[in-house]
Amino acid sequence: MLLQQTELKQVPSMSRLQKSTGQQQMFHSLHQILSPYMSSVVVSVLLWHVIAVLLVSNLAFASSLEETNGHPKHKGEVIYAHNGAVATDDRRCSRIGKDVLREGGHAVDAAVASSLCLGVVSPASSGLGGGAFLLLRLNNGVAKAFDMRETAPALASKDMYAGNTTLKAKGGLSVAVPGELAGLHEAWKQHGKLPWKRLVKPAEILARRGFKVSPYLHKQMEETESDILEDKGLRSIFAPNGKLLKIGGICYNKKLAKTLRTISESGPKAFYEGLIGLNLVKDVQNAGGILSMKDLKSYTVKQKEPISNDVLGLKLLGMPPPSGGHPMMLLLNILDQYKLPSGLSGALGFHREIEALKHVFAVRMNLGDPDFVNITGVLSDMLSHRFANVLKNDINDNKTFGPSHYGSRWNQIHDHGTSHLSIIDPERNAISMTSTVNAYFGSKILSPSTGIVLNNEMDDFSMPRNVTKDVPPPAPANFIMPGKRPLSSMSPTIALKVINPLSRFDFLKCGYPLPHYHPCHPLLLKLSFIKR
């Protein structure tokens, strides 16, 4: 992911960070802990007016406004800056965000430009055909949560798949109503400084002029090769000559460029009410889907109050349901019951984390879209330190148990990959945003008329199925209903800690582009050790 900077006064020397053996060991252990969890991670951290980006994978990238000859200032795995920061999955998109900040853009402006770029160069993970959660903390202390999660079409029902899990995961029937574009535009309307057209233009240029296939995109292409070759739209972009493009090969998406150009001029109305939407709906219906113009026109972004939790010496801000914010908070509350850091070190530490996760996953499946199901009691428990202590006391350091021991009543859903970006602008407005089309290339459909990769977010709903002794029943709170948003494990997070009498804050923004579950607890734990 990538980094930017903006001038902050009284910046101390970073030499102590570079020379501290203890902190170097922390970064090394952090890398070891996180490696099994994900394929790529970037976390941006503001340490006493200095922004540091920890790169714990060769798939993550960073740069700054103070770059020299195109290379960021860094030492080892730590990249730091004195101004704003932009961290994304792809160097090109981070630089686009950096340029936006250089022109005086707000963090929201950089988020719009960077995320649209990711939809072009990393379309297997996110894009206009998907959804997202955006967490924003303004420099005046006000925090906002933008829920742009996909919704079930009006014709959807809990029995629509008749037990066919393939239809739920792939093809037209797996496509939910996209929300990313509407959410980005809403955040921009409230806080953007630069013209909308200026923010969309870089992504349009990349799609039109072509971009090099990154190693990670190529990996995703290889893992879905048969699906790409099967779908006319995907094949035309990623295997134009009948074979997958190679790493470094130039990929063109002229249809997407045209779509982006129209959006830059007409805004999201062209997508949700205009010709782009009409073409998109036609392509989905031709693939057997039930998406309609009524679905697009009725889509709304939900602005909510972020959840807040004091744990590990930090104040955490997270996304409310249907995101994974509450499960992540519960996990941290459980782990905070141990004596840190010794209580989570070594093999015993891993055992405790795994056992805690089992409890969290069991509770998580009682959640659903709060506009459709009453989950007030569950949410209260998940933020309760007393409830966390009860679960912690149920963890045995010497053994594990069957699912029923952890209170598991419902069958789990399996989330897929995402894209994440973190931004701090010169005025100290901070954004943590996670976006997705769910599985690699979502529904395995690229709309031929618009160039948009379509999500398969319907697969994140629970589905009625036959129950056996070995298979728990599905979770009713997450059953499909028209207009409902499926449960998600995405958990963009901002962590703050008061660091001086002037009530200035340190920032940590985290979120993972990884499958199944997105808790950023290892980072929060390790960083809390430093702060203490």
DSSP letter string, 209-262:
H-EEPPHHHHHHHHHTHHHHHHSHHHHHHH-TTSSPPPTT-EE--HHHHHHHHH
Q: Is the CB of residue 366 less than 8 Å from the CB of residue 378?
A: yes
Tell me if 455 is assigned to a ligand binding site: no
Known catalytic residue at 418? yes
Our CA dihedral for 404, 409, 413, 414, rounded to 10 degrees, sits at: -10
Q: Residue 309 forms beta bridges with which residues?
A: 316
Residues 6+ apart with CB under 8 A from 215: 59, 247
- Is the sign of the CA dihedral 327, 331, 333, 334 positive or negative? positive
Tell me if 489 is assigned to a ligand binding site: yes
Tell me if 68 is assigned to a ligand binding site: no
Residues 6+ apart with CB under 8 A from 269: none
Q: Is the CB of residue 264 less than 8 Å from the CB of residue 276?
A: no
Tell me if 157 is assigned to a ligand binding site: no
Q: Residue 316 forms beta bridges with which residues?
A: 309, 495
Question: How many other CB atoms are found less than 10 A from the CB of residue 412?
Answer: 17
Which stretches within 251-409 are classed as H helix?
254-266, 269-272, 275-286, 293-298, 325-335, 346-364, 376-382, 385-393
How far is C-alpha 458 from the chain's CA centre? Answer: 17
Tell me if 465 is assigned to a ligand binding site: no
Check 418, 434, 450, 493 and give the catalytic one.
Answer: 418
Lay out the sheet containing 307-311: strands in order across.
74-75, 78-81, 50-55, 42-47, 505-510, 493-498, 314-318, 307-311
Residue pointed to by tokens 């709309």: 447
Tell me if 198 is assigned to a ligand binding site: no
Q: Which two tokens stand for residue 190?
A: 């409230």
**DSSP 8-state assignment for residue 362:** H
Report the number of secondary-structure helices (H) and strands (E) in the chain.
19, 16
- Each residue of 23-57: b (16+ CB within 10 Å) or e? ebebbeebeebbeebbbbbbbbbbbebbbbbbbbb
Residues 214 and 368: their CA atoms lie apart, in Å, by 36
Tell me if 438 is assigned to a ligand binding site: yes
Q: Which residues are annotated as a binding site?
A: 149, 436-438, 460, 488-489
Catalytic sites, residue numbers: 418
Q: Which residues are annotated as a binding site for L-glutamate?
A: 149, 436-438, 460, 488-489
